[in-house]
Amino acid sequence: MRTQVGIIGAGPAGLLLSHLLHLEGIESVVIEQRSRATVESTIRAGVLEQGTVDILCEAGVGERLRREGVVHHGFEIRFNGERHRVPLSELTGGPAITLYAQHEVLKDLIAARTAAANGQICFEAKGSRVFAPETARPGIEFQTTAGSQRLECDFIAGCDGYHGVSRAAIPATSCREFHRDYPYAWFGLLTATPRVAEELIYCHHEHGFALVSTRSPGIQRLYFQCSPNTRIEDWSDDRVWDELHSRLAIDGGAAPAIGPILQRDVVGLRSFVCEPMQYGRLYLAGDAAHIVPPTGAKGMNLAIADVRILARALTEFYRSGDQRWLDAYSSDCLRRVWRAQRFSAWMTALLHRPDPFDAFQARLQHAEFNALKASVEAARVLAQNYVGWSWEQ
294 is catalytic: yes
Between strands 97-99 and 70-72, the pairing is antiparallel
Would you call 273 helix, strand, or coil by DSSP? strand
The answer to whether 226 and 268 are in contact (CB under 8 A) is: no
Measured from the Cβ of residue 180, the count of other Cβ atoms closer than 10 Å reads 14
- Active-site residue, selected from the candidate residues 100, 202, 279, 329: 202
Backbone region of residue 154 per phi and psi (left: phi > 0; alpha: psi in -120 to 50; beta: other values): alpha
126 is catalytic: no
223 is catalytic: no
- Active-site residue, selected from the candidate residues 72, 73, 204, 205: 72
72 is catalytic: yes
Measured from the Cβ of residue 197, the count of other Cβ atoms closer than 10 Å reads 16
Give the containing element (helix H, strand E) for 125. none
- Active-site residue, selected from the candidate residues 100, 294, 329, 352: 294
φ, ψ of residue 382 to 5 degrees: the values are -60, -50
22 is catalytic: no
Angle at 182 between CA 180 and CA 187, to 5 degrees: 140
Measured from the Cβ of residue 115, the count of other Cβ atoms closer than 10 Å reads 8
CA distance 183 to 42: 26
The answer to whether 169 and 340 are in contact (CB under 8 A) is: no
Query: Which candidate, 106, 263, 267, places its Cα nearest to that of 182?
Result: 267
Residue numbers annotated as active site: 72, 202, 294, 298, 386
